[in-house]
Amino acid sequence: MNTLGNQALGAASSCRVRVAVEAPQHSGLTGPLDYLGPQDLTPGTLVQVTLGSRDVMGLVWDPLPPGQVDEDDLLPESELRPVGEALDALPPLSSAWRRLLDFAASYYQRSVGELALSVLPKTLRELDGAQLQARLKKLDKADAAAAKAAADAPLAEPARPALTAQQQRALDALSAEAASASPIPSLLWGLTGSGKTEIYLRAAEAALERGQQVLVLVPEINLTPQLEARFAERFVGRSIVSLHSGLTPVRRLQNWLAAHLGRAQLVLGTRLAVFASMPRLGLIVVDEEHDPSYKQQDGARYSARDLAVYRGHLEKIPVVLGSATPSLESWQHALGGRYRRVDLTERIGGGALPQVRLFDMNRLERKKGVTTALSVPLLDALRKRLERGEQSLVFLNRRGYAPVLHCDQCNWKSDCPNCSAHQVFHKEDRTLRCHHCGVSQRVPRACPSCGNPDIAPLGRGTERLEEQLAAALPGARVARIDADTTKLKGSLEEQLAAVHEGEVDILVGTQMIAKGHDFRRITLVAAVNPDDALFSSDFRAPERLFSLLMQVGGRAGRDAAQASTSEMWIQTWYPDHPLYQSLGQHDYEAFAGALLRERTTANLPPFAHLALVRAEGRTVEAARDFLVAAERAARALPLSLGLVIYPPVPMSMARVANVERFQMLIEAGNRTQLQRFLREWMQDLHALKRRQKGLTRWAVDVDPLAI
C-alpha cells in the first residue's frame, strides 16, 4: 500500500471515516466499514483500504447522521485501520449517485459496498493514483484532439423531419414535465414505427441545449449500435459514448470517465449504465421499458428500469419510458396518475399495422408421415411474397434442429445427464447439446437404450424450420439468425446487413430478430408455434408473449407504401384465445385491461409485491432444507404478519448442471413492510447458510420477473 495516506494521517486531523468496500455477500455486512482517515476526505472519493488481509479499493461514504450512531456498536478509534492512498485526481462520485446506490443496495438486499464497487469499471478499481493520473492526462489529450476536430468540421445542420401533430403533442407533454420542479415519469406509449425514437431525439436535444447530459437505456447490446448511429447522425459534433458489457475494459473505463467528468453529453447503454456517474444528468430515456433484459439476473438483481425511475425522482429530472406494450407495472402507474401517459397511436406515414391472420392448426390436414408444421396457406402466402420480390420473416423462439431426439420403440429421449431438460439436436454438427449446462455429445447412431437405429427428431427448432422452408420453396434464399449463427463477433451485423441489402427472401430466427431492427422490405411475418407460453407456470408468460408478438409483427410493413398489404401470420391451436384475439385487433389496451383484472383477483403484481428466495444445493435435501428452515425463521418474525409465505418448491427447471434448485415466494400487499421484513429475514438467512451443508448458493430476488 502507498504510504502517502498514512503519512497524512500523522497530522492531528484524522478521524473516523466510513468506507464502502466490496465485502462478500456471505459476510452479511451491509453497510460501509469504519476506517481512520484525514478529516477532509470528501465522500465519494476512491481510497485504498485493507480488508482482512487484502488491499482493496473502497469508496468514502457519508458519515452517519448523529441520531443514527449507536456508540456501543462502534469500534474504538484506536482499533481502526488507516485508509491508504486517496485517488483524489478523480472528482468524487456525487451525493445523488451515492443516494442511488444506497437505495439500490437496500432495496435489493445487498451490501452497499459490494454494489457500489461492482458497478464501477473494473479497470478503475485496479488503478493506483499515479496510473489514474496518467490515464486522465491521456484522456485530456484525446478530448482536446476530438474537440479540435469537431471545431474544424463544418457543423452540419441535421435534416430533422417535421414532427407530426401527434408527435408535437407528445413532445409538448414531455417538455412540460421537464419544466416542472419535480417531474413525474412519462410513459410514452406508441406502436413500433410511430416515431418514439424521434421523440427521444427531440427531448435529448432540449436537454443538451440546457447544458445537461442525457442517459438513454436500451435492453440489449445489439441494439446499441443502431441507436448510437441514429443519435450520432442527429448530434454531429456532440460527444456520445456507450456503456455496455461488450466493450473492452479500457474502452469501458474511458467512456465511464467521459460520463463522470461531464464531457460525454449523451450516454447510451444497457442496464448497467443506469449507474453511470453523470454530474449534469438532465434526462433519462428507457427504450422498450417492458423488456425483461432490464432485470439483472445474478448478484444484485436490480431492475434498471425501476432504478431509472428512482434516479429521476432523486435528481428531480424527467424520465421517459417508451414502449408499444408497456409492462403492466408501468401501465398501472399511468392509470393511477403516478406516471404521465403520452400516446402515439399512428404509424409515421400513416402505415397500417400488419393484418393479423390466425391460422387454426386444428384445420391442418393430418397425413401420416407429414412432419412439416408449415400450413399450406402460409406457404402460399410466403410464395406470393417471393414472387413480388418482398421479404418475409418466420419467427420461432427455439434454436437447434429439434428440441429432442426420440426412440419410438422404447421411448428413450435425449435427456441431459446433468439437468432436468432435454438435449437439443443440432443437425449441422450432429451433436446433442444441452442449452442449460452446455454439455454436448455426438448424436448416437442408434438408440442408446434398445439399439433401435431409427431414432427421430421430435418437434422443431429454427435449423429444421430453415430446412423445411428451403425444401418447400425451392429457389428462395432462406437465411437464419439465432444464437448459433451469430457466435462470431461481427457475424450478426453481417447477417443483418444481408437482409437489409435484399440478399435474403425469407429470414428465419429467434427473438434475436424481433427487436428494434428496421427492416424495410419485410411484408410478412409469421409465428409458427407460439402457443407454449399460453400454458406456462409463470404468470407473466402471456404478457411477454403478447409484447414479443407485437414486436415481431412490428417488423412488417415498416415501409408505409407496402404497409397495407403486410400480414402477420400466427399458427395456433387456440385461435380463440383472448391473447390472440387482442393481438388480432392490435389492442394492447384491451389485453392489459384483461390481464390487470386477472392480477387483481389473483393478488399478483402490480397489486402485490413479491420476493423470491432461491437456493441451490448439491442435493435436493440441502436446497430444500435450507428453505424449510428459512420458512420457519420467516414465520417467527413479527413482521411476517400479514405476508403470504409460500412453502419451498422445486424450481420449474429443478436441476441444472447437477445442481438442485428450490425456491420460495413471499407476497406482500405493502412494499414497505416487505422491505422491513426482508431486512430482518436476511440476517437469519446468512446465519442459516453457514449451518447448511451442501448448500452451494442462495439469493433473494426482489420483484422477480421470472417465477
Reduced to 3 DSSP states, what percent helix, strand and coil does the chain have, rounded to the nearest 5?
Answer: 40, 20, 40
Q: Which stretch binds Zn ion (CB under 5 A): 35-43, 203-211, 433-441, 538-546?
A: 433-441
Pick between residue 111 and residue 192 the one whose CB is nearest to ligand ADP: 192
Q: What is the nearest approach in angstroms of Zn ion to the Cβ of residue 533?
A: 22
Candidates 100, 115, 407, 526; binder of Zn ion (CB under 5 A) is 407
- CA dihedral 116→119→122→127, nearest 10 degrees, is -40
> Is residue 164 close enough to count as binding ligand ADP by CB under 6 A?
yes
Site string for ligand ADP, 325-364 (x = CB under 6 A): -----------------------x----------------
Candidates 22, 198, 291, 567; binder of ligand ADP (CB under 6 A) is 198
How many residues sit close enough to ligand ADP to count as binding (CB under 6 A)? 14
DSSP-based three-state secondary structure for 615: strand
List the helix and strand counts (H, then E) for the chain: 20, 27
> Is residue 163 close enough to count as binding ligand ADP by CB under 6 A?
yes
Rounded distance, CA 32 to CA 19, Å? 5
Grid coordinates in use for 656?
A: 441444472
| Beta-strand relationship, 355-360 and 567-572 | parallel
Pick between residue 194 and residue 222 the one whose CB is nearest to ligand ADP: 194
Candidates 94, 106, 226, 452; binder of Zn ion (CB under 5 A) is 452
Angle formed by the axes of helices 165-179 and 196-209, nearest 10°: 40
Would you mind telling me the total number of residues written for the chain in this entry? 707
673 binds, among Zn ion, ligand ADP, none (CB under 5 to 8 A by kind): none
Classify residue 94 by burial, with Cβ atoms within 10 Å: 0-12, 13-18, 19+.
middle
224 binds, among ligand ADP, Zn ion, none (CB under 5 to 8 A by kind): none
Candidates 2, 94, 118, 418; binder of Zn ion (CB under 5 A) is 418
Strand partners, 58: 21, 47
Grid coordinates in use for 336?
A: 393511477
How many residues sit close enough to Zn ion to count as binding (CB under 5 A)? 14
Q: What is the nearest approach in angstroms of ligand ADP to the Cβ of residue 198?
A: 4
Rounded distance, CA 606 to CA 669, Å? 10
DSSP-based three-state secondary structure for 102: helix
> Is residue 682 close enough to count as binding ligand ADP by CB under 6 A?
no
Candidates 45, 48, 194, 485; binder of ligand ADP (CB under 6 A) is 194
Rounded distance, CA 702 to CA 667, Å? 10
CB 237, CB 155: distance < 8 Å: yes
Q: Which stretch binds Zn ion (CB under 5 A): 442-450, 487-495, 509-517, 690-698?
A: 442-450
Q: What is the nearest approach in angstroms of ligand ADP to the Cβ of residue 683?
A: 46
Q: Which stretch binds ligand ADP (CB under 6 A): 160-168, 241-249, 271-279, 305-313?
A: 160-168
Residue the block writes with cell 414479443: 548
Grid coordinates in use for 435?
A: 442449452
Q: Per-residue DSSP letters for 416-484?
A: -SSSSSBPEEETTTTEEE-TTT--EEEPPSS-TTT--S--EEES--HHHHHHHHHHHSTT--EEEESTT
407 binds, among Zn ion, ligand ADP, none (CB under 5 to 8 A by kind): Zn ion
Rounded distance, CA 436 to CA 419, Å? 7
**CA neighbor of 205 nearest in space, from 244, 165, 163, 166:** 163
Q: What is the nearest approach in angstroms of ligand ADP to the Cβ of residue 186?
A: 15
Pick between residue 350 and residue 642 the one whose CB is nearest to ligand ADP: 350
Considering only the C-alpha atoms of the chain, give the largest distance between any 2 of them, rounded to a whole number of Å. Answer: 91
Q: Which stretch binds Zn ion (CB under 5 A): 32-40, 211-219, 450-458, 587-595?
A: 450-458
> Is residue 192 close enough to count as binding ligand ADP by CB under 6 A?
yes
Q: What is the nearest approach in angstroms of Zn ion to the Cβ of residue 413?
A: 10
Amino acid at 350: G
DSSP letter, residue 184: P
Cα 510 to its chain centre, rounded Å, is 17
418 binds, among ligand ADP, Zn ion, none (CB under 5 to 8 A by kind): Zn ion
Distances (CA, A) of 39 to 6, 13, 16, 76, 83: 13, 6, 8, 17, 12
Pick between residue 281 and residue 424 the one whose CB is nearest to Zn ion: 424
Grid coordinates in use for 409?
A: 420403440
Pick between residue 164 and residue 565 the one whose CB is nearest to ligand ADP: 164
643 binds, among ligand ADP, Zn ion, none (CB under 5 to 8 A by kind): none
Pick between residue 166 and residue 255 the one whose CB is nearest to ligand ADP: 166
Grid coordinates in use for 205?
A: 436535444
Q: What is the nearest approach in angstroms of ligand ADP to the Cβ of residue 204?
A: 13
Q: What is the nearest approach in angstroms of ligand ADP to the Cβ of residue 196?
A: 3
Q: What is the nearest approach in angstroms of ligand ADP to the Cβ of residue 303?
A: 22
> Is residue 562 close enough to count as binding Zn ion by CB under 5 A?
no
Find the binding residues for ligand ADP in span 26-85 (CB under 6 A): none
Distances (CA, A) of 524 to 361, 363, 521, 557: 19, 21, 9, 8
197 binds, among ligand ADP, Zn ion, none (CB under 5 to 8 A by kind): ligand ADP
> Is residue 431 close enough to count as binding Zn ion by CB under 5 A?
no
Distances (CA, A) of 364 to 91, 461, 642: 67, 20, 51
Give me the sheet containing 281-286, strands edge to edge: 240-243, 266-269, 213-217, 281-286, 319-323, 186-190, 340-344
Pick between residue 162 and residue 488 the one whose CB is nearest to ligand ADP: 162
Candidates 161, 211, 438, 453; binder of ligand ADP (CB under 6 A) is 161
Candidates 32, 129, 193, 557; binder of ligand ADP (CB under 6 A) is 193
Q: What is the nearest approach in angstroms of ligand ADP to the Cβ of residue 590?
A: 21
Residue the block writes with cell 466499514: 33
Q: What is the nearest approach in angstroms of Zn ion to the Cβ of residue 421?
A: 6
94 binds, among ligand ADP, Zn ion, none (CB under 5 to 8 A by kind): none
> Is residue 190 close enough to count as binding ligand ADP by CB under 6 A?
yes
Pick between residue 350 and residue 417 the one whose CB is nearest to Zn ion: 417
Give the Cα-Cα-Cα angle 518, 523, 526 (nearest 5 degrees). Answer: 95
Candidates 247, 447, 556, 610; binder of Zn ion (CB under 5 A) is 447
> Is residue 197 close enough to count as binding ligand ADP by CB under 6 A?
yes
- Chain residues binding Zn ion by CB under 5 A are 407, 409-410, 412, 416, 418-419, 434, 436-437, 447, 449-450, 452
- Chain residues binding ligand ADP by CB under 6 A are 161-164, 167, 190, 192-198, 348
